[in-house]
């Protein structure tokens, strides 16, 4: 059914609201596949390939293949519990199912990594969890056969200098969380936007590019500062009085489009306005109005630090090892799913100005926990934030198989905050010490 007016789009976002007992956790994480003998990236075609990985997972574990033309491009769980998909450069992503606890998330991550290692070992393919590709140039990185990427990549070159790095040479972990109402969404969005640089600092894990240090602790985060500023950033309007679903819809309507899907084919609409589409004025489809699937597709092409759909996506963290894949949902669930912790977190950030929030965002890729906000080192703020998250998780009182609450998953982050040393700084110490300047050692020492 065609969308006739903006009110339908506002209602669609608002329909995501759920009572607290129905709030769930959805975790997504990406990793770089590599050939274990040569450390080369994995091509799409061939006996040792992305296609072979997907086919192997499908055959061995009962996943359902998702195809674009004749190419398998993703896997879906026949029971509806998540899917495996491909990022532009072959990054392998698990989009997990909706689960009740961080314990469940961690079991899901463990099962997924067990599956991909089982199939990957037979093919001589390993997996590396870093925020940025440490060795391969853009030219060496394969391009996956997905139609949307053929539209996005050329457009990226027109709107920033690092868009292709974002597409082909970065990996993230993110968590998707629910809200109860418009007011709850607003508070959660504001807190998570303001504190997203804390997550970026704690998870900083991308200090290498092209075989050498790149000058940043989170290069993945730096990439987003010059990818496409019309569709990324800290959303300063979200902190203005009266902000709600309507204001986010207005923002999304004016974010340039990439594509429209019709009959399984991508129609290039790069740079066009969804607002014009809503009015039946899209040049590529004159007189035609969008349907809700078009709107949902468009929302996936908006990349702020926190993204609003019918839930909230935390997008500020580099990918990393197994322990930190579980730590990210623990951080945000503890802060956002416990009202006293959420209120206390808002008290920490509510007086920050637009300029202060932006400056912190700009400083963190290079400085991580050494960045400063209002005269305070971010390391000290991170300790406070983690304490609030721990309180929230302990209040949930959900115990795992060893009797510990979800707060146990914060332990790796507490260690980083206590020492002030990120994973990226540890990698640089290895590079300048035992690795003798050989970035290739990261594949041996840090693969899953």
What pLDDT tens digit does each residue of the chain (448 aa) get? Answer: 899 999 999 999 999 999 999 999 999 999 999 999 999 999 999 999 999 999 999 999 999 999 999 999 999 998 877 999 999 999 999 999 999 999 999 999 999 999 999 999 999 999 999 999 999 999 999 999 999 999 999 999 999 999 999 999 999 999 999 999 999 999 999 999 999 999 999 999 999 999 999 999 999 999 999 999 999 999 999 999 999 999 999 999 999 999 999 999 999 999 999 999 999 999 999 999 999 999 999 999 999 999 999 999 999 999 999 999 999 999 999 999 999 999 999 999 999 999 999 999 999 999 999 999 999 999 999 999 999 999 999 999 999 988 899 999 999 999 999 999 999 999 999 999 999 999 999 999 999 9
Residue 248 falls inside a structural domain: no
Residue 230 falls inside a structural domain: no
Sign of CA dihedral 411, 116, 81, 191: positive
Strands (E), 258-399: 259-262, 265-268, 303-304, 306-308, 312-318, 372-373, 376-377
* Overall domain count for the chain: 1
In Å, how far are 107, 188, 325, 399, 408 from 403, measured between CA atoms? 15, 29, 20, 5, 10
Of 249, 238, 199, 35, the closest CA to residue 121 belongs to 35
User: Domain containing 321: what range?
Assistant: 25-225+308-446
Tell me the pLDDT tens digit for each residue of 300-314: 999 999 999 999 999
d(CA 427, CA 176): 28
Residue 184 falls inside a structural domain: yes
Bridge partners (DSSP) listed for residue 213: 208
pLDDT at 79 (0 to 100) = 80
Residue 239 falls inside a structural domain: no
In Å, how far are 3, 53, 347 from 277, measured between CA atoms? 10, 39, 40
H/E run at residue 75: strand 71-76
pLDDT at 80 (0 to 100) = 74
d(CA 190, CA 195): 9
Give the CATH number of the domain where residue 89 resides.
Answer: 3.30.590.20
Residue 253 falls inside a structural domain: no
Residue 319 falls inside a structural domain: yes
Residue 154 falls inside a structural domain: yes
Sign of CA dihedral 420, 423, 428, 431: positive
Residue 300 falls inside a structural domain: no
d(CA 236, CA 243): 10
- The torsion angles phi and psi of 223, rounded to 5 degrees, stand at -55, -40
pLDDT at 46 (0 to 100) = 98
pLDDT at 401 (0 to 100) = 82
Tell me the pLDDT tens digit for each residue of 179-233: 999 999 999 999 999 999 999 999 999 999 999 999 999 999 999 999 999 999 9
d(CA 100, CA 26): 9
Dihedral in degrees, nearest 10, Cα atoms 12, 14, 15, 20: 160
């Amino acid at each position: 059914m065609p969308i006739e007016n903006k009110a339908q789009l506002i209602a669609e976002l608002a329909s995501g609201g759920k009572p607290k007992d129905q709030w769930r956790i959805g975790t997504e994480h990406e990793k770089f596949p590599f050939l274990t003998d040569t450390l080369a990236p994995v091509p799409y075609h061939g006996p040792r390939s992305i296609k072979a990985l997907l086919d192997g997972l499908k055959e061995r574990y009962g996943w359902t293949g998702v195809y674009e033309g004749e190419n398998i491009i993703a896997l879906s769980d026949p029971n509806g519990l998540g899917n495996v998909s491909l990022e532009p450069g072959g990054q392998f992503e698990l989009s997990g199912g909706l689960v009740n606890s961080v314990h469940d998330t961690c079991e899901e991550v463990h099962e997924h990594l067990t599956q991909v290692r089982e199939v990957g070992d037979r093919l001589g393919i390993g997996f590396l969890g870093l925020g940025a590709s440490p060795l391969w140039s853009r030219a060496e990185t394969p391009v996956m056969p997905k139609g949307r990427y053929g539209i996005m990549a050329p457009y990226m070159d027109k709107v920033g200098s690092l868009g292709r790095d974002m597409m082909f040479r970065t990996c993230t972990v993110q968590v998707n969380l629910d809200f109860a109402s418009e007011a709850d969404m607003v508070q959660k969005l504001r807190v998570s936007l303001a504190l997203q640089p804390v997550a970026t600092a704690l998870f900083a894990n991308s200090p290498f590019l092209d075989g050498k240090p790149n000058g940043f602790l989170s290069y993945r985060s730096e990439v987003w500062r010059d990818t496409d500023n019309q569709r990324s950033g800290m959303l300063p309007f979200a902190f203005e009085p009266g902000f709600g679903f309507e204001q986010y819809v207005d923002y999304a309507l004016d974010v340039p489009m990439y594509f429209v899907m019709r009959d399984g084919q991508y129609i290039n609409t790069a740079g066009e306005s969804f607002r014009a589409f809503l009015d039946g004025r899209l040049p590529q489809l004159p007189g035609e109005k969008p349907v809700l699937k078009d709107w949902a597709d468009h929302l996936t092409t908006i990349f702020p630090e926190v993204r609003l759909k019918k839930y909230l996506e935390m997008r500020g963290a580099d990918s990393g090892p197994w322990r930190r894949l579980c730590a990210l949902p623990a951080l945000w669930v503890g802060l956002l799913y416990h009202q006293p912790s959420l209120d206390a977190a808002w008290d920490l950030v509510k007086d920050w100005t637009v300029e202060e929030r932006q400056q912190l965002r700009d400083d963190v890729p290079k400085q991580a926990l050494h960045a400063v906000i209002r005269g305070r080192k971010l390391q000290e703020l991170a300790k406070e934030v983690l304490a609030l998250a721990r309180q929230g998780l302990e209040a949930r009182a959900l115990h795992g198989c060893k009797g510990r609450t979800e707060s146990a998953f914060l332990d790796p982050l507490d260690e980083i905050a206590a020492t002030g040393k990120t994973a990226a700084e540890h990698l640089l110490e290895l590079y300048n010490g035992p690795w003798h300047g050989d970035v290739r050692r990261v594949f041996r020492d840090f693969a899953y």
